[in-house]
Structure 1
Amino acid sequence: MEIQSVGESYVRAGQVLTDRSAVSAAARWTQAVSEADGVCVLHLSPGVDPCELAADLRDQGLRASPNHVLRGQPLWFGGPSSRPFPAPPIAHKPGKSRSDVIVGLLDTGVAEHPWWPGGGWYDALGPDEADATEGSQAGHGTFIAGLLVRRAPGVALRVRRVLDGDGLGDEATVVRALHRMRERPPQVLNLSFGCRSFDDGPPPLLADALGALPDTVAVACAGNDGSDRPFWPAALPGVVAVAALDATEEHRAPYSGHGDWVDACARGDWLTSSYLDGGEFTGYAAWSGTSFATALVAGAIADAAAGEPAKEAARRLLDGPRQIPDLGVVFPASL
């Protein structure tokens, strides 16, 4: 993927996202248009700046955005454990109880693991949902899946692979995956990735796609660069933005994003979970980052949603007694 750096954000070079209403307005700067699953990607003529064109279309009242590059966490910015480390097997036996709650997991995919048999959801996955086996973030989705099923026993995961083995994807891919979830929306959605936008404002097509899932609780990571700048989609209204605490669960992890747009926090340091089986790993790893704090919060909401609507469960849990300024309510790890 050809990437263009714009300040502290990254976009796909020569691409703008729109809905159909903006296609004709951008025709003179466009070489080709690809439309699928609710979003149009404009492939621009050489020399046209996607950020300038997106801003111009917005000034006309149209929905447009450069195709932002979305990055999985934590490896892009690093942290105390900027890569996974081998861990011994973790004692976990899937229970026989089943929940009606479905958690959508958009990530690098999910690999085969001893924790999945009997759940049904893994057998339904196709080859396109398998976890990446190569790259700096291969196994990221598998790690998160383990945190989710341990925190919310009996839930089913609906997996969509939107990131490659290096944890990179783009806004168009995520918007299309969200569009395909409209027919059978999950109760909870785990989004352990994000981006800075070129103008620090909310990406409108991504906001629209999440807004079209009104009964789904979207939970997203606050990023790992230690900044209070909004990180999207976490900072979108209605999305539960999650920061990471250190291993004591008392203080912000130094790498964690923070600010008044953050809603919740959970331990992100040195968590252990399911991972790939190969090389120095035997199916288990220790890893750190807001990605994994996000899974703990999403799992807690999914577990509570077994007995009440997910939106109500989220509101109740986010009104918890222990709050930390710029980090929101504390969710105990409970693994």
Structure 2
Amino acid sequence: MADYNVVRRRIEAFFRDQIIIDPKDVRLVGGELTALGIEQKRVASDRRLGLDLFELDGLAQGAGKLDPGLRERVKAAAVGAYEDGEEPSDLDLLLFHVREKSAAEHAGYRPVVAKNRVYENIEGSPYSGGSVGDVRPAPAFDLPARSASTRRRPRIGVFDTPMHAHRKFAGRYVLAGDDALLDDRPEWVSFSGHAIFVASVAARQAPDAEFVVYPVLDEERLTTNSWKLATAMAGALDDDLDMMIIALGGATADGREPVALARACERTAGIVKVAALGNNGQNMAEAPEGTQFSELPANIPMWPAASSTVIAVGARSAHGSPAFFSPTPDEAPWTDCTAPGVNLRGLFLPGQVWMADLDVLKGVAQVTDRSACFAPPGYATWSGSSFSAAYAGGAIAQQAYTKGISVLEVADGLFGEDPGKTPNTDESAPPAGVEIVRVT
């Protein structure tokens, strides 16, 4: 089975021969690589991010020239990141060497150089999840009607899988790219319906919003990478967005915010960003029998949700407590709010849908023999912090539209120094139920 050139460990996943560098540090980093006989090829640059993407050739041979004691220093610096039998990759060794040598020679200066990380959704590698359990058919329902107002509608970017063209969602979205729409087919795999479900959950709270679909997640492997996600976020500066809903994420061995994602969040500061806290909660006592729990501990930060520039949304059960799959605010103190995330209703795919499971070690979603038939045009219930993020994002956007103020103003009021009230939707939508957890 191909590994797609990705290193996979319990905590993190990343491309084994790619690095992201700030142009300011290309000369410094490049000099160290050349000295080790490692060739570098710039494969992409992004002016808005101020970052370059490089592919490396000869990495294994170059890493073989490094200090033999480096391996133990790498492991010691990432306590708890390596399971029994896991070892630092050649790229781990190289990056540690470059930073260590620069700090020693330049009074602590460490160049901006990082891995091109893998992020995932639903079931990904390593498993963090965007949804929990199999999606189930649901009775038909109507989305709340849009108001007759001619004012500019809030624009919400959905960074997810390609969109299914559900007829009940027609007129509420536009596509950011030629590959943002799924082709019709007689049978589906469950994860293909993730974007339409996320968008429709948000639309139930924000019927007056317009959605822009960014297909950053691979439909077959359910993954994206930090370069693709960050450049898509930066590119969205052309699209007049008010909000981004980012229902995906990943962890890092050192617990720090990934460079490319941090840069994208900083440079889209005028856009409110809402992200899923993660499905790596471990409340086994409350879980249904047979639940597959995350490989990640509940207290590990998931990015981008843990970023100081992002609203992190955890999932709440119908009883008001954190859902069994959602980290608690004590476990994840970067939580900003919680929202309903269990058995939410949304639009979905029509026809026969095969459920997918994850081979954690290979990072591959595999189609199972479990399936369900969804009566056209497709309605479902699903659980997960992805949908809590969509729920909260929609409620915030609709409050802004109702009040005639910006989404940023509402977010600042809710999470800033002068917190406002819990966001509510119009009377035709369910109560928002967004509970503010952390006020800074």
TM-score range, shorter chain: 0.7 to 0.9
Residue-by-residue CA offset, 1:149-183 (whole Å, 9 max, x unaligned): 22111211111110012421111110110121123
Q: Sort the Cα spacing of 1:8 and 1:163 in 2 relative to 1 into closer, same or farther, 3 A.
A: same
Is the contact between residue 123 and residue 222 of structure 2 (CA under 8 Å) also seen in structure 1?
no
Matched, 1:150 2:245: no
CA contact (8 A) 1:148 1:298 kept: yes
Q: Which entry has the higher C-alpha Rg, 1 or 2?
A: 2
Matched letter for residue 65 of structure 1: A
Unaligned runs of 5+ residues in structure 2 are: 64-89, 104-108, 282-297, 353-372, 423-430, 436-440
The aligned counterpart of 1:327 is: none
SS at match of 2:397: helix
SS in 1 for 2:117: strand
Q: 1:196 and 1:6, CA in 2 relative to 1: closer, same or farther beyond 3 A?
A: same
- Counterpart position of 1:325: none
2:179 is aligned to 128
Q: Which amino acid aligns with 1:113?
A: H
What is the rounded CA distance, in whole Å, between the counterparts of 1:61 and 1:190 in structure 2?
Answer: 32
Residues 1-335 of structure 1 mapped to structure 2, 5 A cutoff: 1-27=4-30, 28=34, 29-38=38-47, 39-45=51-57, 46-47=59-60, 48=63, 49-57=90-98, 59=103, 60-73=109-122, 76-77=127-128, 81-92=132-143, 94-97=145-148, 99-119=152-172, 121-122=173-174, 126-131=177-182, 135-165=189-219, 166-226=221-281, 227-248=298-319, 250-258=320-328, 259-279=332-352, 280-281=373-374, 282=376, 283-306=378-401, 307-318=404-415, 319=419, 332=433
Shift of the alpha carbon at 1:304?
1.9
| Deviation of the 1:191 alpha carbon | 0.4
Contact 1:247/1:270 (8 A) holds in 2: no
Q: Contact (CA 8 Å) 1:73, 1:223: kept in 2 or not?
A: no
1:74: how far off?
5.9
Does the 8 A contact of 2:176 with 2:214 survive in 1? no
Do the aligned partners of 2:269 and 2:309 also contact (CA within 8 Å) in 1? Answer: no
Quickly say closer, same or farther: Cα 1:79–1:106, change in 2 above 3 A: closer
TM-score under structure 2 length normalisation: 0.68
Q: What SS does the aligned partner of 2:202 have?
A: helix
236-245 vs 300-309, greater mean Cα deviation? 300-309
The answer to whether the 8 A contact 2:131-2:386 is kept is no
1:127 aligned partner, one-letter code: D
Q: How many residues align?
A: 324
The answer on whether the counterparts of 1:93 and 1:115 sit within 8 Å (CA) in structure 2 is no
Q: Where in structure 1 are there 5+ consecutive unaligned residues?
A: 323-329
* Stretch deviating more after TM superposition (237-246 or 313-322): 313-322
Please give the secondary structure, in 2, of the residue aligned with 1:84. Answer: strand
Q: CA deviation at 1:115?
A: 2.3
Q: CA RMSD in A?
A: 2.6
State the Cα distance separating 1:62 from its structure 2 match.
2.2
User: Would the alpha carbon gap of residues 106 and 55 (structure 1) be closer, same or farther in structure 2, given more than 3 Å must change?
Assistant: farther
Structure 2 CA distance, aligned partners of 1:97 and 1:110?
26
CA distance in 2, matches of 1:50, 1:333: 42
Residue identity opposite 2:344 in structure 1: L
Q: 1:7 to 1:78 in 2, by over 3 A?
A: closer
Q: Distance in 1 between matches of 2:211 and 2:45?
A: 24
Per mean C-alpha deviation after superposition, the further-off stretch among 305-314 and 294-303 is 305-314
